[in-house]
Every structure is written in structure tokens, then in C-alpha cells.
Structure 1
């Protein structure tokens, strides 16, 4: 096996105290709870009457109520024959029921399988069969109910959940997430945001992304449970309820994708919503224009902003770009998290290689897929499939997915680099860059752009002139397709480029390129 040396950490500004390395050189946080159950138990002990969970236009639960209800779900699962290590699939919509199902599964000592309810039915059927789920929590059936039960001897390295990937390249793969994976991500979030645990009960976080995704579950719900803060769940995203909930629920923590913030800020009466309570705004999942970062800062004047990057396989956050770097480095996903090592596999002459990630947040492998596990998690390093470069300050710049890199007659074009440039082009609200088959060059560069306004015609020549100011000629799209409907994305905000290629009918090349 080739020896891989971690990249120097550079100017990473995060607290790395209280960490240690194991015999394989992997860093860990010291002093973590033994399991999610113990983390939950400690919060209930310290903050029993604190409001824990709110479903917009639905129930409100304190931490004691949340524990008691989840413990009855656990008892019902045990009475139904679910034993330690059995898988429990969760097909419930976002809300109190989903959270009770997830936490009840943990209290039962079982393994949660959050299912992407946006999957097509064959994909859902595949997840249920592949995971070997002993029980499926469905919206048409009541939650299990029985005598309260809470497992007391779970170990930090035990399997706690299986999150299935979005299936952008075939059937989904189940990422085996341990208690340490979850707990490490919680600690990482606290450190990269500089959160004082004493302030925890005053945190009010609005979840407007799916709970079956690691951003909603791991980086929002579980962090608030660790802090004793309040999680407010918006069952389905609509921009007006989103804005109204920020005001009505006194929300101070927001995490979403750039497109959601752009939509919210474009509301004609946005200024009528009092959002001054918001002190933290996180985003990620797609490129963001410098102008949008400035608009977010202006719209939420009390907030610190930041860009998080990660994968299902890293339990959410692997790198983070803090507030102080957010405006000037919008093309970066930030610095390595406190216990994360980064490396580049086979970098080219431009310093671009596959991003490798190592740390206690990296999952234990893929369920039922030993060959894929061996390829992707070789030698304790996660081969992310993302192409990146790391500058001298330690800032990570993700330039493409390896499978999405465009080879234009022997010249590599990194689609994310072009998408970053398009993000600030006049009249462009969103954009995706893909390869277009060509008989001579093999591939040419194609861009699908969403117009920022339905009332004004987007000027393709103006967009290309904008790109010419910052990109080499061979990187400028030869094909441009303008559409009004949103680009297809998975629940984490990542582009579904295979689907986009199937949807797009390319016209004639532009500007004779």
C-alpha cells in the first residue's frame, strides 16, 4: 500500500485540544460519551424542562417528554422482537414522529436506517431489502409503544445507523455510522462554530432540510440534543413558512443550501421579517457567489456565517470555512475539521488530486459491500471521489467530482471551477457544468443555467464575457442551455448531473467555440 502523508494543516483556526491519535495515526476526541444514548441521557438529566423539539404547526416537547416518548418507542420495538444490532428503517416524514423513531431506535440498542423518502419506490425497496430491516416505521402506522426501555451498555464503536447515499451513480450504498462517528461530528460542529456549551439551552435551530440526510440529523438535531437547545422542524420547505418560523420561533441558528437563502432574500417583503435574532448562518452543498454571501451578511447582521463541506461517509462535516474567510474565499470549503486529516491522491501539475479524508467521523464502511468498502476506505483513508487542491494556508478548494471532470481534447476542465464563476455571472441564479460528447475532442464544456428572473431574458453573451474575465478560453462553455425550472439536486443540495444530462437537449455551439 502506498504511504499517504497528511497535508499540512496550514492556518486552520480550530481548537484541537483534548485530542489523541491511535496506533494507525487516526485522531480522536477524548472524553466523548459512550453512545448517543448516554449523550441524550445527560441532557435530559441537566435540562429536563427545557423545550427540546418543536414541529411547526404541531407538537412541542420538553427533553423529559422527548425521553419518555422515545423510551416507549424503544420498549415497543423490543416487545416486537427488535434486538440489539437489528436494523429499524424510518420512512416517516420530518417531524416529531421521525425524531421519536430515530431516538427510540437508539434507546432500543438497534441500528437506525433513515430512508430517503424522495427515492423512487425501487430504490426504497432496495434499501429495505439491503439493510435487512427487521421493522419499518411507516407514516400510515402508529409508532411502536411499550414499557419504557433504554439500553445502558452501548459501546462507542458500535453501529448506530446506516445512511444510504443518494444513489447518483446506481443503487444507494449504506454508510455504516458508529456512535463515535455521530459524537465526533457533534464535537466538530461545536468547535468549528466556537459554541460555548453554557449557551446551549439558548440555541434555537430551524431544520428546513430533510432529517434523513446527515446535515439535518447529524449537524442540526444531534448537536442541539448535545447542547440542550431547541430543534424546530419545518416538515416541508416553503419559503413563506420558513421566514415566518424564523420570527415566530425566535430562531438563532440556520443551516441550508445557497439556493434557499437566495430564494428567501429575494422575497419582496423580506425586510418586514424581523430576523435579528439569527446569530449563525451555515450553508454548503453547492457553489455560492460572493454577492450572495454579502447579501446574507447584510440580511442577518448579527450572524456569523460559514461554509461546511462533507459527505454521508464523513458523518457530515469534514471541512469548514469560518466567518472571517467567508467573503474573500467563496471558492473554498475551508480548513480541515479539528480531528480530520486531509491528503491528495496523485495530484496533477496544477496540484489537483482526489481528496482523501481520515478521522473519527469517517464511517466504518458500506453495509454488505466489502469490495466497495475496500476501494473507498483503503488504509483508513476515505477516497472521497472529489477532486481538490489545498493551498498553502490549508484552504481546500473542491474543483470537481472525479467522474464529472471534463476532458476536452486532453485538457482537464473542472466543472465546479466553472460553476463557481457562473455563480456570479449577470442574470444567473444557478448553474451546472457537464461534458457534452464531441466527435473530435471527445468532450466539450456545456453549461445549464437557471435565469435569476422570469421577467428578463438572460443574456448568454454577457454571461460568457463575464467568464472570459476569469477563466482560460478552453474552460468557457461551448454549449449553454437556459432553463427556468430549478436544477435537479439531492436532499443535500448536490447536483444530480446524470439526471441533468438526460434532461438537456443541447442546441448549436455558442460563439463558434
Structure 2
């Protein structure tokens, strides 16, 4: 039986974004993006200089002006150590303000951050350092020098090198400025963030994942405050007075099993995002009962899609729970295989957030990225409204 390639249109009931335009290469893209991540954030810094940009729950906080100043000095320190435009520099910092300073310092130096989890064993960290060719690893004290800001980057240039280990070895995913900026735009549009100053409590044991980095950056882009914590003590969360709560479904459900949500928490949280794989109707009902006044978004993405791609948006019926949702942010979906015309097959994605390929792996890039489409390796079904359900995950070597 021969295989078929079938494109499936996105849902027209939810999340339309009229800013998307189709380019000559056939991809939907955001028009009018800033040329680089540094320039997007520079605008935010000048608009919101006195606002708090980053806050550690119960600890240090930095205004936009102070964060930018600190990051510029880190960039100057990197330049003094010989870091050049396009060099890779690893970030191996615990969750907190210093992680953001290190990440942005690398960006302002014109270098490429390589995100590393401090909890990884030494062998894995060294594997990523060697594979990426990292010039330095920012694992303790941050370098300082004369303030430096590179503003010459372009949309097509690599802005982040993120690693996945699904294939049994370290594989770097090249993410461009356009990938990151498009993902930021899609998150801001998805949740209808304004620039009044949201407070986004990000509950995360590490910031190594692309989804976590995009979460931080999308909050900074609109002049919000990123409140960072690894604590799963719910009482501590409410002290932040956050109106956005971002955590994995497992983290939220585990917290709710041991702590009741206070009335104050129910009033303050206006958006709740639980990123990860699909979850059951009982779990979704429990989260809605705990936060009845909030807009709920269950999102799903891969490193290769810059952490975004599908979402079960607020307003969907309980019958839709169990899917990974519908494509958004210019993402388009196709299926490949003998049953593709019946809505079953390998899931393919394309869009402005999809990576350009794998670092120094031309054959894997050629196999996984064809004609603008990324072959996820996952089997999926797509219904008539564009809702995607993962039926089996890619085998891990």
C-alpha cells in the first residue's frame, strides 16, 4: 500500500491571527517582526525601564533597566574572554535571575545560548559542550566587562541551540531569531496579553527547555514580570500575586493534591497554562474547579517547533480533552502514510516556529526536514476541525 501526504486545515473556530501572511516558500509568517531577539527586548527595556522584569519568589528582583545593564556587562565580559559573533556559550545556571542575566548576556554579545540543565550528570553536560563547540560555560560567576550590545543580528541567524536526547544521543536543534520571535508572538496572541504589566509565575525545576525560555521571553516582551520558582508549595505561589500561572500538568495536579487553592489565588490567577502531553478529563475538571475564573490553555510543543505548536484553548468542550489541541501561531499540519487520507498517519508540522535543522547533522536534517515540513516521528489522527490526537510516540533509541 502506497503512502499519501495530506494537509489538514487549521481550525477556524479558534485562535485566528490575521497578522499571518504566506510567503513565497508557502509558509505562514508574522509580518513586521523585529530583526532579532535583542532588538525586540531593547524596545521593551526602553518602554518599561522602571518595571520589575524578573523576580525570584521570595528573593532577588531586577527592573528592566537593571537587567539590561547587568546583561550588557555580562556581554562585555564574554567579549573580553574572546567570544565572537555566532560563538556558542552554554548556560548552566539554576532557576533564578542569574539565569536570565546569563542568557541575555550571551544574546547581547551576539553569541548563541546553549541551554544546559545543572541537574544533568557531568557526562551529559560535557557531551553537549563538546557537540555544540561551546566557547564557555556560564556555570558559576558571570563574567563582567565594559557594557556591550550587539544589534546586527538578522531573522535567519541562529539565536538558540537547544538539545534533545530522544534519539539516544545529544542532538542540537538550531532555532533562529525568526523561530523565537514567532513563538513569542504566538504566545502573546494566544493569551491576549496586553502591556499593562502581567505577573507570570513560572514553576519550573529548570529553564533548559525551549518552552520555558519562550515563556520567560514572551513575558518580558510585553513588559511583564517573570516570577521564577522551583517550589511546589502552593501557599508560596499566592504570595507572588501572579495573574499567570505556568507549570506542567503533573506539577499542578501534585500541588493540588496536597494544598487547597486559596480564595486569593482563585481571584488573582487569570491565565493558567499547563504545557505537556495530553491529560485526562478528570484532571482537566480538577484544574478548572481549582481555578474557575481563569482562562485555561493546555499546550504542547517540541524542541523542533520552538516549544509551541498545539493548544487546547479555553472554551473547548470536555470531549476535546485528550487531544494535544489545534495548531496555532502559523503552524500547519499534515499526515503521511497509507491511511493519511482517513486522518491517520505520521504527524508533520511546518510554520514560522519550526527549526531549520539539526546542528552538524546534515543527514538527520535531510531526513526530518523536507520541503519545509518537519517529520515528528509521532503517529497522530486529525479530525474535521483540526484537532490533533497523538496515537503513538516516536520510538526512543
TM-score by length of 2: 0.94
User: How far 1:298 sits from its partner (Å)?
Assistant: 1.5
Counterpart Cα distance in 1 of 2:338 and 2:104: 42
Distance 1:268 1:76, change over 3 A: closer
User: Partners of 1:15 and 1:178 in 2: how far apart?
Assistant: 24
1:188 equivalenced with 2:186 (yes/no): yes
Question: C-alpha separation between the residues in 1 aligned to 2:11 and 2:260?
Answer: 43
Please point out which of 386, 398, 412 is paired with 2:378: 386
- For 1:320, what is the secondary structure of its paired residue? strand
Question: Residue in 2 aligned with 1:510?
Answer: none
The answer for the alignment partner of 1:36 in structure 2 is 37
Alignment of 1:365-404 (within 5 A): 365-403=357-395
Partner of 1:316: 307
> Superposition RMSD on alpha carbons, in Å?
1.8
Contact kept in structure 2, 1:245 and 1:251, CA below 8 Å: no
* CA-CA distance at 1:120 after TM superposition: 2.8
8 Å contact 2:277–2:300 — kept in the other structure? no
Q: Is 253-262 or 370-379 further displaced after alignment?
A: 253-262
1:108 counterpart residue number = 109
Q: What aligned pairs does 1:107-506 form with structure 2 within 5 A after superposition?
A: 107-139=108-140, 142-165=141-164, 167-195=165-193, 197-199=194-196, 201=197, 203-209=198-204, 210-218=206-214, 220-234=215-229, 236=230, 238-240=231-233, 243-271=234-262, 274-325=265-316, 327-348=318-339, 351-403=343-395
Distance in 1, Cα, partners of 2:99 & 2:343: 44
Report the equivalent of 1:67. 68
Equivalent residue of 2:195, what SS? helix
* Structure 2 SS opposite 1:198: coil
Kindly state the Cα deviation for residue 268 of structure 1 after the two structures are TM-superposed.
Answer: 4.8
Superposition TM-score, scaled by structure 1 size: 0.74
Deviation at 1:247? 1.3
Query: How far apart in 2 are the matches of 1:303 and 1:361?
Result: 27
Local SS of the residue matching 2:150: coil
Alpha carbons 1:264, 1:270 under 8 Å: kept: no
* Pair 268,307 (structure 1): closer, same or farther in 2 beyond 3 Å: closer
Measure how far apart 1:271 and its partner are: 4.2
User: SS state of the match for residue 124, structure 2?
Assistant: helix
Shift of residue 4, structure 1, vs aligned partner: 4.6
Question: How many angstroms does 1:146 deviate by?
Answer: 0.6
Deviation string, structure 1 residues 163-188 (Cα, Å, up to 9, x no partner): 001x1331121000111110000111
Tell me which stretches of 4 or more aligned residues in structure 1 moved more than 3 Å: 2-5, 268-275
Quote how far apart the aligned CAs of 1:274 are. 3.4
CA distance in 1, matches of 2:262, 2:295: 19
Say if 2:93 and 2:117, in contact at 8 Å, map to a contact too: no
Tell me if structure 2 keeps the 8 A contact 1:47–1:63: yes
1:448 alignment partner in structure 2: none
The higher radius of gyration belongs to 1
Separation (CA, whole Å) in 1 of partners of 2:174 and 2:21: 23
Deviations 1:38-88 (A, max 9, x none): 111000111100110001232110000010000000011011110100000
User: How far apart, in 1, do the equivalents of 2:232 and 2:330 lie?
Assistant: 36
TM superposition shift of 1:154: 1.1
The whole-number CA distance in structure 2 between the counterparts of 1:128 and 1:40 is 27
SS of 2:128 mapped into structure 1: helix
Structure 2 regions of 5+ residues with no counterpart?
A: none
For the residue of structure 1 that corresponds to 2:276, the secondary structure is coil
Structure 1 residues 264-323: Cα deviation after superposition (integer angstroms, max 9, x where no partner): 111254447634200111113233121221121121122010211110000011111111
The aligned length equals: 393
Does structure 2 conserve the Cα–Cα contact (< 8 Å) formed by 1:12 and 1:394?
no
CA 321–272 in structure 1, closer or farther in 2 if over 3 Å, else same: closer
Q: Which has the higher contact order (CA 8 A, sep 6+)?
A: 2
Residue 118 of structure 1 deviates from its aligned partner by: 3.1
Is the contact made by 1:257 and 1:286 (CA closer than 8 Å) also made in structure 2?
A: no
Secondary structure, aligned partner of 2:265: coil
**Residues 432-473 of structure 1: per-residue CA shift (max 9 Å, x gap):** xxxxxxxxxxxxxxxxxxxxxxxxxxxxxxxxxxxxxxxxxx
Alpha-carbon contact 1:385-1:401 (below 8 Å) kept? yes
1:110-129 alpha-carbon deviations (Å, 9 max, x no partner): 00001133333222111000
